[in-house]
Amino acid sequence: MAGQPIPHFHNTMKQITLLACLTVGALATVTMSQNMAGKTMTYGGVKVKVLGQKPTKFPMGKSKSDWKKTLTAAQYHILIEDGTDRPFKSKYHDNHAKGVYYSVASGKPLFRSDDKFESGTGWPSFTKPISDSALIYVQDGSAGMQRIEVIEAATGTHLGHVFMDGPKPTGLRFCMNGEALVFRPAR
């Protein structure tokens, strides 16, 4: 039937795009994260100091049982159990409104919408955090690959990962889980 859309073409293209982005991201991640523990680098003004392991004390840290009382099941899975949103399912991956993204755990600001970009990965992606002191970076060897995990400095909760395949000026892609964020539009 001429002029008819190809069934499932859009979803297939999303899957192909995601696979390509994940492959590029994985290659960039291996380059970025190999032997990075203990090193500090600056990318377009963003200071990234990679720790070999996650610290155990945080100013606003809580026990797992306390987090379970304050977070939804999905938030708990991502923030405490280091889970991830399903690609293209995050409430913020396609958000284009102006405003600030805050931590769902602490309420502290983490990212500005001006630094958000379309990465094609299905997760909200940013070129830089709102401040260098808001985040901590930790070497992550889970899921069979080497990555740089991004955790909130105030709570120690898992937010996502940072990759070296972002746009200028930093060249970084902060790939964040939407469940870890709360968006507040600009007034």
The pLDDT tens digits of the residues spanning 161-187 come to 999 999 999 999 999 999 999 999 999
Choose the CATH number for 9-185 among 3.30.460.80, 3.40.50.1970, 3.40.50.300, 2.170.150.20.
Answer: 2.170.150.20
Residues 6+ apart with CB under 8 A from 89: 122
**Annotation says 21 is catalytic:** no
Cα separation of the two ends of the chain: 49
| Average pLDDT of the segment spanning 130-146 | 90
Give pLDDT, residue 109: 98
7-11, 153-157, 163-167: least confidently modelled range: 7-11
> How do strand 135-140 and strand 46-51 relate by DSSP bridges?
parallel
CB crowding 121-135: b at 16 or more within 10 Å, else e: bbbbbbbbbbeeebb
Residues 6+ apart with CB under 8 A from 28: 163, 164, 165
Catalytic: which of 36, 138, 154, 175?
175
